[in-house]
Amino acid sequence: MTACALLTAAAGCLAEPDPDAKVASTRATAARVLSGELVRGPAGGHQPVALPGRPQQPVLVAPRELHQRGLDRPDGRAALIHAVAHIEFNAINLAWDAVQRFPDMPAEFARDWASVADDEARHFTLLRQRLRELGCDYGDFPAHDGLWHMARDTAYDVLARMALVPRVLEARGLDVTPGMIKRLRSVGDGATADCLVIILREEVRHVAIGSRWFRWLCEQRGLPPQETFFRLLAEHLGGRMRCPLNRPARLEAGFDEAELARLEALCG
């Protein structure tokens, strides 16, 4: 085993374009990391993979080009499931990118994000199966690539990555998923709603991992967490926030009351 075997394995999962192979390699690699079989040594000559592997489909478009469909129609529900599945596919990549891009972080950092990658692979599989039950598959609808844009924009610093990917983009899922669950149940799609209940519960832990490492990094650098978070939010996202916030889930995920009050003040 080379000194940077874990980094190489993480980069391999990230670079894999085939969804089935990415899920399989993610689950196998995460199991090896979490069992202690695959440990991270010195980075050595490891060069981070710059771009994630992805299949030719779905076609990527600007968010404004995605058409909204009513959930009372089967194609509308399939489009929603596809959009969430695409987020989960990107989340696999984001987790492995954190492992392979920031090798100077403590070993527990790699273990945490390997566990997140494993969860995201399960979520993607769950949603893809639901798509197939509706006669569709991943790639049948267009999608956007906003999550990876933020990964690219925060590649320069693990502090910015922890602040803005889990604590902004992924935390947004905590806000909107309860409403999706309610709407799906109202149109009789309890099967999809049940999938989202599982995902919501586990995504709280993912955001909490981001919160914990963000605060750890602030402590290491002697930075005030709240001011640093809002500075990065202003620099990268213009200080914008969409509401309402899922306060109970965000509190469980590592936000505090002062942060939530300040975030709500940014809502337009």
- For residue 145, the model assigns a pLDDT of 80
For residue 103, the domain's CATH number is 1.20.1260
- What one-character-per-residue DSSP string does 49-103 give? -SS----S-SPB--GGGSPP--TTSHHHHHHHHHHHHHHHHHHHHHHHHHHHH-T
Residues with Cβ within 8 Å of residue 87, at least 6 apart in sequence: 147, 173
Number of structural domains found in the chain: 1
Convert the pLDDT of each residue in 177-197 to its tens digit.
999 999 999 999 999 999 999
For residue 194, the model assigns a pLDDT of: 98
Q: Which domain holds residue 128?
A: 5-41+65-265
Residue 200, in any domain of the structure:
yes
Closest CA to 206 of 157, 160, 173: 173
Could you tell me which residue, 145 or 59, shows the higher pLDDT?
59
Asked if residue 168 is part of any domain, the answer here is: yes
Backbone φ/ψ region at 222: left (φ over 0), alpha (ψ -120 to 50), beta: left
Query: Does 29 reside within a domain?
Result: yes
pTM above 0.85, yes or no: yes
Position 52 in a domain: no
Average pLDDT over residues 93-99: 97
Domain annotation covers residue 55 = no
Give the per-residue pLDDT at 44. Answer: 66
Q: What is the pLDDT of residue 3?
A: 46
Decide if 18 is inside a domain. yes
Any domain includes 215: yes
With bands split at pLDDT 50, 70 and 90, how would you rate the model's confidence at 42? low
Q: Is the pLDDT of residue 43 over 70?
A: no
Q: Is residue 157 part of a domain?
A: yes
